[in-house]
């Protein structure tokens, strides 16, 4: 499989840097963050890939997914079926005010106009709804190196912004109680969250968690 990823085909999702299981440490940590605030309801994942996180989340939530890749969508039809739609979130894809949780893990950096999608996410949530996700942490020595490496190997990246720019986009969209913290990658599917001020210096990814 190719190491350089240029499009969302098989090489992208079967890449050695991308493989993950539904019960991985990373997915378990993501779900725990959500369950600490929402225990049930309707959950949408934007950029759900091959559906690993959705398979875990559906134990607690009524799940749906949006995925741009035809290959990824065909890979999950057997166990998620019509719950996942092949859609480009930057296209004509209005989100109705119906979701309790929207997740977007390492998705926004792939978009050419992430601010517009963040506004779309805001309108897709019910009042009190939650958005959680991650982007490369393009700040600090570790974060800048990590972002440069991911941009080198993943040519689909378009918007690897610094944290203050991401925060401004969430504020401008209308979100409140914006929490930003760090994700340290310890293995292919093992992570540690850092929620004290050291996250800015140690983190590979920036996590965001906001309320409508």
27-76: pLDDT as tens digits? 999 999 999 999 999 999 999 998 999 999 999 999 999 999 888 888 88
Tokens of 183: 């994700």
Give the fold, CATH level 3, of 10-211. Rossmann fold (3.40.50)
Tell me the residue length of the chain. Answer: 212
The pLDDT value given to residue 5: 65
CA distances from 136 to 63, 73, 84, 146, 170 (A): 25, 24, 25, 8, 16
- How far apart, in whole angstroms, are the C-alpha atoms of residue 14 and residue 1? 7
- The band of 178, judged by pLDDT with boundaries at 50, 70 and 90, is very high
Query: Are the C-beta atoms of residues 69 and 13 closer than 8 Å to each other?
Result: yes
User: Residue 74 has what pLDDT?
Assistant: 84
Residue with tokens 């709804």: 129
pLDDT higher than threshold 70 for residue 83: yes
User: Considering only 55-59, 78-82, 171-175, 178-182, which range has the smallest mean pLDDT?
Assistant: 78-82
Which residue matches tokens 């996250």?
A: 199
In DSSP terms, 209 is beta-bridged to 132, 179
Please report the pLDDT score of residue 78 as a whole number.
77
Q: In sequence order, what are the beta bridge partners of 45?
A: 65, 103
Token pair 């019910």 in the structure block, residue: 126
Question: Phi and psi at residue 197, in whole multiples of 5°?
Answer: -65, -15
* pLDDT for position 3: 58
Please check the confidence at residue 132 and state whether its pLDDT lies above 90.
yes
Task: Check pLDDT > 80 for residue 9.
Answer: no
What is the predicted pLDDT for the residue at 13? Answer: 67
Residues 6+ apart with CB under 8 A from 112: 90, 158, 159
Q: What is the pLDDT of residue 2?
A: 55
Residues 161-187 have a mean pLDDT of: 95
**Chain centre distance of CA 92:** 20
Whole-number average pLDDT of the chain? 90
Q: What is the model's pLDDT at position 124?
A: 96
Nearest to residue 205, comparing CAs of 156, 157, 133? Answer: 133
């Amino acid at each position: 499989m190719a190491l350089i990823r240029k499009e969302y085909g098989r090489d992208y999702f079967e890449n050695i840097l991308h493989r993950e299981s539904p019960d991985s440490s990373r997915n378990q940590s993501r779900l725990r963050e959500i369950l600490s605030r929402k225990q049930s309801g309707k959950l949408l994942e934007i950029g759900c890939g091959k559906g690993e996180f959705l398979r875990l989340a559906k134990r607690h939530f009524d799940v749906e997914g949006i995925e741009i890749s035809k290959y990824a969508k065909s890979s999950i039809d057997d166990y998620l079926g019509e719950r996942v739609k092949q859609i480009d979130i930057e296209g004509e894809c209005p989100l109705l005010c119906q979701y309790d949780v929207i997740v977007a893990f390492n998705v926004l950096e792939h978009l050419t106009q992430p601010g517009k999608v963040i506004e779309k996410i805001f309108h897709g949530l019910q009042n009190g709804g939650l958005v959680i996700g991650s982007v490369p942490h393009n700040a600090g020595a570790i974060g800048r190196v990590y972002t440069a490496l991911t941009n080198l190997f993943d040519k689909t990246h378009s918007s690897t912004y610094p944290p203050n720019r991401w925060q401004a986009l969430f504020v401008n969209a209308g979100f409140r109680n914006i929490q930003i913290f760090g994700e340290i990658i310890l293995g292919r599917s093992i992570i540690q969250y850092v929620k004290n001020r050291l996250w800015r210096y140690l983190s590979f990814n920036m996590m965001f968690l906001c309320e409508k």
